[in-house]
Structure 1
Amino acid sequence: MKNAVADSRSRHDRHSRQEHDQIEASWRERALNAESELTRTQKEVFSQRCQIGELMGQLRDFDQMVPGESVQHLATENNSLKLRVRQLTQEHRKLQERLEGARSNLRFADKRIAGLENELLEARGLNRR
C-alpha cells in the first residue's frame, strides 16, 4: 500500500510539474513575444524620429532659402496671377458669347442664302417656260 501511495504521489507530482512547466512555457512565450514587439516598436520609433528630423531639416532649409520678403513677393505674385486668371476668364466668357453670336449669324446667313438660291432657281424656271 505504501508503494501505491508513493506511486500516486509520484504521478501527482509529475502532473503538477508538467502543469507548472506548461504554465511557465506559456509565460515565457508571452515574455519573448513582448520583448520582440518592444524591439520592433523601438526600431519603428527610431525610424520615425529620423524621418521627422529630416523633414524638420528640410523646413529649416526652405525657411533659409525663402526669407520673409521673398514670401511677401510670392504672395503678391500669387495675387496678381489670381487677378490675371479672373481677367482671362471674363475675356474667355466674352469671346464665347461672341462666338455663339457669330455662329447664330452664320446659321441665319446660310438660311438666307438657301432661300435666295431657291428664289433664283424658281425665277430661272419661270423664265425658261
Structure 2
Amino acid sequence: MSSRTDAAVHARRQATQEMLERLQTTLAGAARDQTPLTVAALARTARVSRTFLYQNQQARALIEQANRASRPHPGVSNSGSRAQPAWKERALNAEDALAQAQREIRIQHTGIAELLGKIRDLQHDLPEGSLQRLVTESTTLKQHVRQLTQDNQQLQERLTSARQNNRFMDKRIADLEAQLALYLTTPPPHS
C-alpha cells in the first residue's frame, strides 16, 4: 500500500473512533439522565449520521448494551422487549418531528406577522387617496412608455428607409458621374 492509502485508512479509522467515543459519551449521559434512547436523538446529540448508527457494528453493540442496561423490567421476554423499544422509538421520532414542525410553524407565523406589520405601516404612511393616485400615475407612465417604444420603432424604420434611399442615391450619382466622365473623355465625332 502507498503512504497516501495508509494515511487515508488511518484517518478513516480515527474518525470512526472519534464518532464511537462521542456515541459512548452520549449514551452515558442518556443513562445518567434516564433519557429515552432514539436513533434520531442519539445521532443528533453525538453528531453522527443515522446510517453510521445502523451500519457500524460497534455502534450497534453500544446501543444494544445501553438498551439492555436501561430496561426497567428485566422479567420481560425478549420478543416483547424488542417490540416495545421499536414502537417507543417511532413514537419518540414522531414527537421530535412534531416538535420540529411546530417550531417551523412558529417561525413562519412570526415572519408572516412581521411582513403584515410592514404592509400596514406602509399603508398607514400613505395619505388618503394616494394609493389611487399612484395606481393612476403608474398606468399613465406605462402608456407613455408604450407610446415612446412605438415612436422609437417608427423612427428606427424611417432611419433604415432613409439609409436605403441614401445608398440608392449614392449609387445613382456614381452611375451618372461615370456616364458624364465617359461623355467628357470621348471626343465628339467630326462630320
TM-score range, shorter chain: 0.7 to 0.9
- Structure 2: 5+ residue stretches without partners: 1-75
Equivalents in 1 of 2:83, 2:163: separation in Å? 90
Could you list the per-position Cα deviations for residues 53-72 of structure 1 after superposition, in whole angstroms to 9, with x for gaps in the alignment? 11111111111122341112
Residue 101, structure 1, aligned to residue 161, structure 2: yes
- Deviation of 1:108 after TM superposition, in Å, equals 1.7
User: Matched residue of 2:77: which SS?
Assistant: helix
2:185 aligns with 125
Query: Equivalent pairs: percent with the same residue?
Result: 45
Equivalents in 2 of 1:44, 1:77: separation in Å? 41
Equivalents in 1 of 2:184, 2:141: separation in Å? 63
Map 1:1-129 → 2, pairs under 5 A: 17-127=77-187
What is the letter of the counterpart of residue 81 of structure 2?
D
- Deviation of 1:33 after TM superposition, in Å, equals 0.5
TM-score by length of 1: 0.76
2:24 aligns with none
- Deviation of 1:37 after TM superposition, in Å, equals 0.8
- Deviation of 1:102 after TM superposition, in Å, equals 1.1
Equivalents in 2 of 1:44, 1:52: separation in Å? 12
Query: What CA RMSD, in Å, does the superposition of the two structures yield over aligned residues?
Result: 2.1
4+ residue runs of structure 1 moved beyond 2 angstroms? none
Could you list the per-position Cα deviations for residues 70-118 of structure 1 after superposition, in whole angstroms to 9, with x for gaps in the alignment? 1121122113212322331342233223213311220221111110221
What is the letter of the counterpart of residue 31 of structure 1?
A
**Structure with higher RCO (Cα < 8 A, 6+ apart):** 2
Total equivalences in the alignment: 113
What is the letter of the counterpart of residue 80 of structure 1?
T
